[in-house]
Amino acid sequence: MRILCLHGRGSNNDIFKMQTAGFRSLLDDYEFDFVQGQMPHTEGNWSLHTKDFSSSSLWGYFNLLDLEDIVETEQQVLQLAAENGPYDGILGYSQGATLAAQVLIKDALETAAQDPEHHHPPFKFAIFFNGATPSRVFKVPSKPVPIIPDLTQPLALKFLHAVKANPLLGSTGLYPAAHPTQPGRQMLTDGTLGMMKSDAALDGKLIQIPTLHVRCETDVAEHGEELYNLCDPQLAEQYFHIHKHDFPRGYNEMRGIARLIRQTAERACEL
CA dihedral 12, 14, 20, 22 (to 10 degrees): -160
Calculate the average pLDDT of the chain.
Answer: 88
**Terminal Cα-to-Cα distance of the chain (whole angstroms):** 15
Which tens digits make up the pLDDT trace of 179-218? 988 988 888 899 999 999 999 999 999 999 999 999 999 9
Question: Is the omega angle on the peptide bond into residue 149 within 30 degrees of 0, that is, cis?
Answer: no
Short-list 114, 153, 151, 134, CA closest to 62: 134
Confidence of residue 165 (pLDDT cuts 50, 70, 90): very low
- By mean pLDDT, which of 59-73, 140-154, 160-174, 211-225 is the weakest? 160-174
Short-list 230, 238, 234, CA closest to 267: 234
**What value, to the nearest 5°, has the Cα angle with vertex 213 and ends 16 and 15?**
5
- CA separation for the pair 131, 113 (Å, rounded): 25
Long-range contact pairs involving 164-170 (C-beta distance under 8 Å, separation at least 24): 165/43, 166/42, 166/43, 167/42, 168/42, 169/63, 169/65
Q: Is 258 helix (H, G, I), strand (E, B) or coil?
A: helix
The sign of the dihedral angle between the CA atoms of 265, 5, 21, 42 is: negative
pLDDT at 55: 67
Short-list 74, 100, 75, 67, CA closest to 177: 67
- Number of helices (H), then strands (E), belonging to the chain: the values are 9, 12
Instruction: Reply yes or no on whether 94 is catalytic.
Output: yes
CB of 102 closer than 8 Å to CB of 69: no
CB atoms within 10 A of CB 137: 20
pLDDT at 153: 65
Which tens digits make up the pLDDT trace of 38-55? 988 876 555 555 555 556
- CA separation for the pair 137, 167 (Å, rounded): 23
- CA separation for the pair 58, 38 (Å, rounded): 9
Provide the residue type at 231 as one letter: C
Confidence of residue 271 (pLDDT cuts 50, 70, 90): confident
Residue 133 has pLDDT above 90, yes or no: yes
Residue 254 has pLDDT above 90, yes or no: yes
Q: Which of 11, 47, 94, 135 is catalytic?
A: 94
Q: Output the pTM of the full model.
A: 0.90
Bridge partners, 236 (sequence order): 211
Confidence of residue 169 (pLDDT cuts 50, 70, 90): very low
Residue 92 has pLDDT above 50, yes or no: yes
Confidence of residue 119 (pLDDT cuts 50, 70, 90): confident
Residue 162 has pLDDT above 60, yes or no: no
